[in-house]
Amino acid sequence: MKQHTVVDSPYGPLTLVADGDGALCGLYMAAQRHRPGEETFGSRIAALRVFAEAQEQLTAYFAGELKEFTLPLGLHGTPFQRAVWEQLTKIPYGETRSYGALAAALGRPGASRAVGLANGRNPIGIVVPCHRVIGSDGSLTGYGGGLERKQRLLDFERGTALF
């Protein structure tokens, strides 16, 4: 059974979703592409340990004090999607990787497009840093939260912009 809450951020409200095991299984921005319907988030409740931890870590991240999240995650997807999302968590703060580099790291060098599709379906934005994935030519490519948000996150992590 899922539960959710909504917290404020420099990007506006973020919807946090927890699965029945108490792990964070969703972090969605308003107007995010591939955002599930509200009815799938379960009841709204603020008093869950994972929500308090997530809010604390997000606050520290946006203050520039946290570089790596340590939240219990419930990544629900296909085995390939979960493998891609696990690779995303290995991209260091302030760095980027191309879709091709992620595909190669998975041992599937020809799967750049599939990596891109899985990246776009990442259910735990920011914490699982899909914003750190760029095109092979260094260009910004699709981001469920919008390219402006992606650029702001990358600039923030590189120390070239503040929230």
d(CA 125, CA 108): 24
Instruction: Give the residue ranges of DSSP H helices in the chain.
Output: 49-62, 79-88, 99-105, 112-120, 147-157
Beta bridge partner(s), residue 26: 17
Question: Beta strand pairing status for 14-18 and 24-29?
Answer: antiparallel
Quick one: DSSP state of residue 33? T
Residue 87 identity (one-letter amino acid): Q
25 is a catalytic site residue: no
- Given the residues 130, 133, 134, 153, the one annotated as active site: 130
Cα–Cα distance measured from residue 115 to residue 99, given in angstroms and rounded to the nearest whole number: 6
Give catalytic residues, as residue numbers. 130
